[in-house]
A and B are shown apart, each in its own frame.
Chain A
Amino acid sequence: MSILTGLVTQLLHLALILALAPVLTGCVRWLKARLMGRRGPHPLQPWRDLLKLVKKRPVLAENASIISRAAPYVAVGVALLAAALVPSFARGMLLAPFADLLLIAGLLALGRFAMALAGMDVGTSFGGLGATREMAFAALAEPALVLAALIFAILAGTTHLDVIIGIFQEGALGLRVSLGFAAVALLAVAVAENARIPVDNPATHLELTMVHEAMILEASGRHLALWDFQASFRLTLWLALLAAVFLPFGMAAPGAGPVAWVLGLGVFIAKMAALAFALAVFESAIAKMRLFRVPEFLGAALLLGLLGAVFLFVSTGLS
């Protein structure tokens, strides 16, 4: 029975992520436009773009190798799997036993590596530039993520995402300073991983400032659609992760029935809307950073994560 409900919730979750991810991207764009006084494209515009792009044959550079053709599928598969592991409206999904934070970090790294390889494949200067910068930023973002996982693991006893959320949901831990530090660190990592302002500007095509877009300049047709899809999945995944860990209320418990799912779904959509609004406000209020200020930004996240861990050791006296 529990396997059946796990399977059903897993499939529903996957369908939800598939449908929601481009809408979420569209919502953030629309909200940003409204905040800046423009009318902005319809929130469903990304869906329309994707449906149009996926029907177009990709134009590949003459010297593009198999890497350019395979990388988008790898990246989408990885992003989809990682997004499938982060619970949205219910815990105890079929894949929950494999939802390990370090595995999610590894999957994200695999997607990033595939994208960087695709960026370097044709041998254009922008692609190489973007790949280099993306990997260098990731080198600082990944330790911050691992430190956040460390803090969760100390509080919950494991890096297992489902267990962590369960323990946070019970609320026995209460408010903790360390969790605040971890939240800030994770937010900074999320901003960097999703190529948002102030680290990167998702709307720009100004060659000298871009990181993420530079790697997919050569992509077109269905390949471009896949790259856009995976970017949406990643954004959804990160927002869902933040929502699940720091705002764990409302999520259906393992084995709960459809009523709890519907409730959880409503709460999940509300949480995502709130986070999307917060992201739009944040992006509108802040300017993009100079490229070599980004390491300071991520270094601060890393230090906050470390501080959170130290706080935990000192305050609880775990000896």
Chain B
Amino acid sequence: MLIALALTLVVLAMLSLAAPLLARAALGVRVVYAGTACVSLVFAAGGIAGLVSAAEALALPFGPPWGAMRLALDPLSAWFLLILGLSGIAASAFAFGHVAGTEAPRLLVPYPLFLAGMALTLLAADGFTLVLGFELMSFASWVLVAHEHENAENRRAARLYLGFAALGGAALILCFGLLAAGVYAGAGFAALRAAPPDGLRALAILLLVVIGAGSKAGLVPLHVWLPLAHPAAPSHVGALMSAAMTKAALYVLARVIFDLAGPAQPLFWGAVLMVLGLASAIMGALRAALEEDTKTLLACSTIENIGLITLGLGLALAFRAADLGALAAVAAGAALLHALNHAMFKTLLFLGAGEVLYGTASRRMDRLGGLIKAMPWTAGLVLLGAAAAAALPPLSGFASEWLLLQALIAAWRVGDLAFQIGAAAATALAALAVALAATAMLRFYGLVFLGRPRSPRAAGATEISGVARGALILPAALTVMFGLTPGFLLELAAPALRLLTGAGAGLSALGGVTMTVSEGGAGYAPMIVFGLLLLLGGGVAWFARRQAPGIVRGPAWDCGFIAPPHHLPFGDPATQVSAAGMAQPLRRMLGKTLLAAREKVEVPPPGDTEPARLQAGFHDPVLALIAGPLPRARDRLTVLAERLRDFSLRQCLGLGFTVLLALMALLILLERP
């Protein structure tokens, strides 16, 4: 299987090379997207094969001067490869369905490379290959983010993204350098595993991998690029970035911390991940509940979900440190399951938002509304995704978040009192994030698909058909299916869980029709819940509709408000709740403290016919930091550095000599036995 996967990487590279020629005709563009869809199918198949069969390893016949490049397919890689494959199929099919004539090469060339970069990151079995894949993924996605560079906003997003990508890449290179210190330079992961770091080196590795992978996954406080960059990219790329790229980054995090850094980490490593995850979950969910652009909202919801996955990983690490293998498997299972589920429903939601963008040419929720009439298919499918993202049973989001909350509730078994109290607070905060996400999803769905159209464009939207509809049906169907079969998915993921937690026993309690936390403990049987819901709801419907069949249509009651005038066929859009209005309760309740939200009402003096105006907004504190103090510090450093130019020859020589002495002193210090 691994050879087939390596060959698909070659296919992707060839597609990318041929893309400038193929971009000249619609047929050629379709060939590229069909090719990437097929390759994604191979990825998904490879993922399943890697989960059910033994691990494979392959040394490529080429590589850097210090050794061959290595690939490997073990259960952890396979799980994330499955995620990549499934999202890739849907995203490529969506792009295929929307091919209209030629396409700019700058959009077509990087797309196969982006997929190849993610796959290489997941399949890499040495530091060099992994960083190569990671950087390929960053670079290709940067080009895609910058594709509409006429737009100043997109330029800004791309610049910020490039900055964070560079930071992350640099941190990862250092991280793998430190991991390989003490082993020979070309060491593969197997050799690194045999010599785990300790002491200060381990701490530095934790810090570097959190910066490197966290900046790509969108962990707070390295998240600010994400709500700007994901919406700037084309819809199918945005979907892949949200669904698969962030997961690839989390894979790197899990690989380094759980696997390469050895089997014994102290408790506080887990606590660090938990704190970062919680901060991301709360910040992402709250921002999603306040944003006014569909794709930005979805990108913020990605931050929230990444936070929840990181929380699960951190919890698993803490359980592992406390020698609670079975619970570690529960927490890691929740994280892996949520990674898969999030990838599916976020692909669906992003592609749905892309569909809305195609149909109405707008991403602003204040210009949409009532699309359930014009786009019934999209509305129905997106409702499934929104409900899953809102963690409603029996869909997939609920299953994984149920497992995560169960793991959090069991966190008191880690004996440390401070950890117990922190875990109780974490449970409440995770529940808060989940509930906030439900609010955000209601806001998204209600404003975009329900109500009356807020603009003529929304009233005249057109529905999708053909392959693009299929691209939405696939993740929607998987969202429902994964929601009903979480126990079986956990059984599929069992080898990966064993790799993460090292627990051999205890995993058997997880899977099956009823997903259980421990033997005799709480269980969740989604199929039975779904069946009962159908039975009860259907029974009630059958009974109630027998009493009085049919319905009557009439004008909306609306507490007796009069019908709108003729020149406003859908009523005055202003008499409907707006995006800012829907955000008001949460903006006041939480936004003021967490996001420096403000509201200002300007009421004109009596007699003035000017309308009253409401101004509302919020700032991301981290973005404010990047826009304010950071550039100021840079300018100050520049001024300082410019003074070097005015040095006399004597001072220049003195400087060089001093630096040489300092370096030699450092060398002596480090070489001291």
Contact assessment for A222 and B547 in the assembled complex, using a CB-CB cutoff below 8 Å: yes
Cβ-defined partner of B428 (8 Å) among A138, A147, A160, A318: A147
Contact in complex: B387, A73 (CB < 8 Å):
no
- Whether the Cβ atoms of B425 and A306 lie closer than 8 Å is yes
Pair B521/A157 contact, Cβ less than 8 Å: yes
Interface residues of B in 282-331 (CB under 8 A from A): none
Q: Is the CB of B558 within 8 A of A217?
A: yes
Task: Check if A109 sits within 8 Å of B372, measured CB to CB.
Answer: no
Contact A57 B551 (CB under 8 A): yes
Q: A77 within 8 Å of B by Cβ? A: yes
Cβ distance B29 to chain A, nearest Cβ, rounded Å = 36
With both beta carbons as reference points, the residue of chain A lying nearest to B577 in the complex is identified as A128
A4 is an interface residue with CB less than 8 A from chain B: no
Distance A57 CA – B549 CA, assembled complex (angstroms): 7
Q: Is B640 an interface residue (CB 8 A)?
A: no
Binary B-proximity of A92-115 (CB < 8 A = 1, otherwise 0): 000101101011001101100100
Contact A142 B585 (CB under 8 A): no
Q: How many residues of B contact A (CB 8 A)?
A: 88
Question: B554 is contacted by which of A61, A123, A129, A160 (Cβ under 8 Å)?
Answer: A61
User: Complex formed: what's the CA distance from A183 to B589 in Å?
Assistant: 24
- Pair A55/B390 contact, Cβ less than 8 Å: no
Supposing A106-B398, A120-B451 touch, asked if A81 and B533 sit within 8 A by C-beta, the answer is yes
Task: Provide the bound-state CA to CA distance between A67 and B448, in Å.
Answer: 14
Chain B residues near A106: list those with CB within 8 A. 391-393, 398, 402
User: Which of B237-245, B432-440, B650-658 has 4 or more CB atoms under 8 Å from chain A?
Assistant: B432-440
A306 to chain B, nearest CB (A): 6
- The CA of A310 and the CA of B419, in the complex, are separated in Å by 11
CB of B442 closer than 8 Å to a CB of A: yes
The residues of B that contact A292 with a CB separation of less than 8 Å are: 585, 588-589
Least Cβ distance of A307 to chain B in Å? Answer: 10
Indicate if B424 sits at the interface (CB-CB under 8 A). Answer: yes
From B424, B446, B561, A131 is in contact (CB under 8 Å) with B446
Cross-interface CB contact of B409 among A64, A150, A302, cutoff 8 Å: A150
When the two chains form their complex, are residues A159 and B522 in contact, meaning their CB atoms are under 8 A apart?
yes
Q: Is A305 an interface residue (CB 8 A)?
A: yes
Q: Say yes or no for A117: interface residue by CB 8 A criterion.
A: yes
Q: A62 near B555 (CB under 8 angstroms)?
A: yes
Bound state CA distance, A16 and B557, in angstroms? 35
The secondary-structure label for the interface of chain B is: helix
Chain B residue at minimum C-beta to C-beta distance from A79: B536
Chain B CB count within 10 A is highest, among A129, A135, A154, A291, for: A135
Chain B, range 398-437, C-beta contacts under 8 Å to A: 398, 402, 405-406, 408-410, 412, 415-417, 420-421, 424-425, 427-429, 431-432, 434-436
Which chain A residue lies CB-closest to B575? Answer: A125
| A218 at interface, CB cutoff 8 A | yes
With a cutoff of 8 Å between Cβ atoms, the chain B residues found around residue A319 in the complex are 415-417
8 Å CB contact of B577 from A129, A135, A149: A129
Q: Is A2 part of the binding interface, using a Cβ–Cβ cutoff of 8 Å?
A: no
Inter-chain contact A58/B552, CB cutoff 8 Å = yes
Q: Contacts A122-B556, A318-B412; is A313 near B420 (CB within 8 Å)?
A: yes
Does B576 make an interface contact (CB < 8 A)? yes
Measured between beta carbons, the chain A residues less than 8 angstroms from B581 are: 128-129, 132
> How many contacts between A and B, using CB within 8 angstroms?
276
Chain A residues, CB < 8 A from B424: 147, 150, 306, 309-310, 313
Report the bound CA distance from A132 to B514 in whole Å: 34
Partner of A100, one of B446, B522, B555, B589: B522
Q: Which of B417, B431, B537, B559 contacts A142 (CB 8 A)?
A: B431
Which of these binds chain A: B72-80, B107-115, B470-478, B524-532? B524-532
> Closest residue to A142 on the B side, CB-wise?
B435
Known contacts A98-B528, A140-B589: does B540 contact A117 (CB below 8 Å)?
no
Q: Are B550 and A57 in contact (CB under 8 A)?
A: yes
A158 and B412 alpha carbons, distance in the complex (Å): 12
Indicate if the CB atoms of A132 and B537 lie closer than 8 Å: no
Choice from B393, B534, B545, B571 contacting A103 with Cβ under 8 Å: B393
The answer to whether B553 and A60 touch across the interface, beta carbons within 8 angstroms, is yes
Q: B406 touching A102 by the CB < 8 A rule?
A: yes
B452 at the interface (CB under 8 A from A): yes
CB distance from B365 to the nearest CB of A (A): 12
Smallest beta-carbon distance A136→chain B, Å: 4
Which residues of A from 152 to 178 have beta carbons under 8 Å from B? 153-154, 157-160
CB atoms of B429 and A143 under 8 A apart: yes
Q: Closest residue of chain A to B571, judged by CB?
A: A123
Query: Does A243 make an interface contact (CB < 8 A)?
Result: no
Given the contacts A54-B547, A120-B446, A313 and B417 also touching, CB distance less than 8 Å = yes
Q: Which residues of A sit under 8 angstroms from B387, Cβ to Cβ?
A: 110, 113
Chain A residues, CB < 8 A from B524 = 98, 100, 102-103
Question: How far, in whole Å, are A95 and B536 apart by their CA atoms in the complex?
Answer: 13
Given A103-B529, A314-B417: A131 in contact with B434 (beta carbons within 8 A): no
Is A77 within 8 A of B439, CB to CB?
no
How distant is the Cα of A117 from the Cα of B416 in the complex, in angstroms?
44
A186 lies within 8 A of chain B by Cβ: no
Given known A-B contacts A73-B537, A218-B557, A225-B544, A109 and B391 have beta carbons under 8 A apart? yes
Within 8 Å of chain A (Cβ to Cβ): is B370?
A: yes
B window 449-464: CB within 8 A of A: 450-452
B541 contacts A by Cβ under 8 Å: yes
On whether the beta carbons of A63 and B540 are closer than 8 Å, the reply is no
Contact of B586 among A54, A84, A136 (CB under 8 A): A136
- Separation of A160 and B588 alpha carbons in the complex (Å): 36
> Is A121's beta carbon under 8 Å from chain B?
yes
Q: Is B369 an interface residue (CB 8 A)?
A: yes
**Is A69 on the interface with B (CB-CB < 8 A)?**
yes
Task: Check if A61 sits within 8 Å of B555, measured CB to CB.
Answer: yes
Report the Cα distance A305→B514, complex, angstroms. Answer: 29
Contact A123 B547 (CB under 8 A): no
Q: Measured between alpha carbons, how far is A203 from B537 in the docked complex, in Å? A: 27
**A65, B589: Cβ atoms closer than 8 Å:** no
The answer on a CB contact under 8 Å between B523 and A97 is: yes
Q: Looking at the complex, which one of A59, A100, A143 makes contact with B432 (CB distance below 8 Å)?
A: A143
Instruction: Indicate with 1 or 0, residue by residue over B30-55, a CB within 8 angstroms of chain A CB atoms.
Output: 00000000000000000000000000
> With A103-B393, A109-B391, A133-B585 in contact, is A117–B442 under 8 Å at CB?
yes
B170 at the interface (CB under 8 A from A): no
Is A125 a contact of B415 with CB atoms below 8 Å? no
What chain A residues lie within 8 Å of B362 (beta carbons)? none
Q: Are A146 and B525 in contact (CB under 8 A)?
A: no
Give me 29 A-to-B residue pairs in the complex whose CB atoms sit less than 8 angstroms apart, sorted by A's number. Answer: A58-B551, A59-B551, A62-B553, A69-B551, A77-B534, A78-B537, A80-B536, A81-B533, A102-B406, A103-B402, A110-B392, A124-B576, A128-B581, A135-B443, A136-B586, A138-B435, A139-B432, A140-B435, A142-B431, A143-B429, A157-B521, A159-B522, A217-B558, A226-B544, A291-B585, A313-B420, A313-B421, A313-B424, A318-B415
The 10 closest A-B pairs by CB, nearest first: A128-B577, A77-B537, A123-B451, A136-B585, A120-B446, A61-B556, A123-B452, A146-B431, A309-B424, A143-B431
Q: A123-B556, A145-B431, A218-B558 are in contact. List 11 more A-B contacts (CB 8 A).
A: A59-B552, A62-B556, A63-B373, A80-B540, A103-B524, A121-B451, A122-B556, A125-B575, A139-B438, A139-B439, A154-B409
A interface residues (Cβ-Cβ under 8 A, vs B): 54-67, 69, 73-74, 76-78, 80-81, 84, 95, 97-98, 100, 102-103, 106-107, 109-110, 113, 116-117, 120-129, 131-133, 135-147, 149-150, 153-154, 157-160, 207, 217-218, 220-222, 225-226, 291-292, 295, 302, 305-306, 309-310, 313-314, 318-319
Interface residues, chain B, with chain A CB atoms under 8 Å away:
369-370, 372-373, 387, 390-393, 398, 402, 405-406, 408-410, 412, 415-417, 420-421, 424-425, 427-429, 431-432, 434-436, 438-439, 442-443, 445-447, 450-452, 514, 517, 520-525, 528-529, 532-534, 536-538, 540-541, 544-545, 547-559, 561, 570-571, 575-577, 581-582, 584-586, 588-589
